[in-house]
Copies of this chain bind each other. A is one copy, B any other.
Amino acid sequence: MPQYSTVVEIGAPLPHPAPSRPRGPKATKVDPSHLLDAAQAVFAREGVQGASIRAMAREAGCDPSLLYYHFESKERMFAALLERKFSSLTPALLEVVERPLPLREKLWSVLGVIGGHVKNDAGFRAVVRGQIVSGTESVRATLATRLKGIQQILARLFAQGIASGELRPDLVIPVITFLFARTYMEIQDLIPILSERMARIPPAQALAMAELEWFNLFWRGIAADPLAPCPPLPFPKEIHP
């Protein structure tokens, strides 16, 4: 029976450097979506360019090669991550859009859906912000297609609002659509800065305040009748992906 000593000769190679797991499949297979979770966490922490395969593997508690087994490359993994996010976001949006509500409340619900997918996921926001411009060709293509789908949903909503007389008839729909989605995402990153500036108010509440403030501002800007009384809005129900 070997005796293990706590004293190790410095510089000498350890006989069993790390008590590593045996090779071969584990008892319970690794769920690829668990790997995506890890990747997402690393992207969120390290930024898109700074995220390394090794860090993701560390996060997932497996070997980097396993990521290459399940996903062809780093870029593919990234695309898979986008796919997963959007594939739950788009149907949720479509569902909300069909509800029979006044436009103002419908828009607010839409924000609830987007927020549920986007809050607590700074990595995803960074992607949507940054990668559209600076990502590789294939990532940009994936992203462009998906975002286009979402913007079409929103554009239809705004067009209906103009038709029903709830919105100003002179709105330039693609611009308004873009402003609506992008500035909302932008606000999410407000938390750390704003909560410094409003020291007394807890971060989550500061964010909610800013969201409401922004939405009311936006609505006053696009409404056909900006002075019409606005019924108070409920806090949006976050629909988590």
Contacts and interface: CB of A to CB of B under 8 A. Distances in A.
Given A178-B190, A186-B183, A187-B179, A172 B209 contact: yes
Count of identical protomers in the assembly? 2
A234 B84 CA distance: 45
A81 interface: no
A174 interface: yes
Given A133-B122, A133-B189, A221-B218, A213 B49 contact: no
What DSSP secondary structure best describes chain A's contact surface? helix
A47 B122 CA distance: 17
A176 interface: yes
Interface residues of A, number: 46
Nearest to A218: B221
A176 B187 CA distance: 11
Interface string A29-54: 00000000000000001111110000
Given A47-B49, A122-B134, A174-B198, 6 more contacts: A122-B133, A126-B130, A132-B189, A175-B214, A179-B213, A182-B190
